[in-house]
Amino acid sequence: MKYLVVWLAISLSLFGVSSSHEENPAGADAAIQEQARNIPLQFEPAVNENEKITFVQGQDKGEIIERRKSADGEFFIYKIPNDPYEELYGGLRIGEKHYHFGQIGYGKDTSAITIASVEAMGRKLLKVNGFRGANYRVTYYIQVQNQVPSVFLFVDGGAHYEGNMDGDPVIIGSYAASTSFQTILYRMEGEKLVFADLNKQLHEADSVRVTDDLLFEVRQKADSVPRLYTYQNKTLIPLNRTAPVSE
């Protein structure tokens, strides 16, 4: 009888270990399936409250250090006299009126500040790329209506792409933070500009990087294998392959 009790105890113990090992693969499979499902994106209104264009006159124009022609007049770079940080700001002259907007650089080198006329979100915009730090990019999309400019969109971290994805006019903002990428997708809903923070909506993904062929390389954790998604009808759809590890 004593030996029978011992045998039963050992058998139950082994059964428990076996069950435990069988449950782990099932849990891992569930996690993989969760990551592999379609992700409908939720969009919310984009607000540019802190990035305005202001009309200036007289001595408030600052010290203009460079002028460039733009489609609607003149773009200029100016600085504030005696500023110890040597910050550079953007401005527009339309007709005889001058307008200022935010910081687009610092120091004396203006070569990294670029302007271009683009068509995005179904409208003509002036795109201004600048910087506020060594690896800190910013992009302004400025529209001019009735000779008056306004900030259509400010992309903190810099814009990566403007154009169409699956027939949907979009702007993608993306920037690197160490070895991770943060990505935001902007689009129009009627006349309203909206956005989706992809990292947050992909279960706080560690990194969401835009590839050269406009796929989204998603890495859930710093040490996990990246997975590729494509964008269709306001949804991220996983592809049946993983992504190469980003350098």
CB 99 within 8 A of CB 52: no
- Residue with structure tokens 């250090």? 65
Give the mean pLDDT of 125-133. 98
Proportion of the chain above pLDDT 90, given as a percent? 76
User: Can you give the residue ranges of every domain in the chain?
Assistant: 41-242
C-alpha to C-alpha distance for 67 and 44, rounded to whole angstroms: 37
Instruction: Flag whether pLDDT at 64 surpasses 90.
Output: yes
CA distance 54 to 125: 18
Query: What local confidence, expressed as pLDDT, does residue 233 receive?
Result: 95
| Mean pLDDT, range 178-185, rounded to an integer | 95
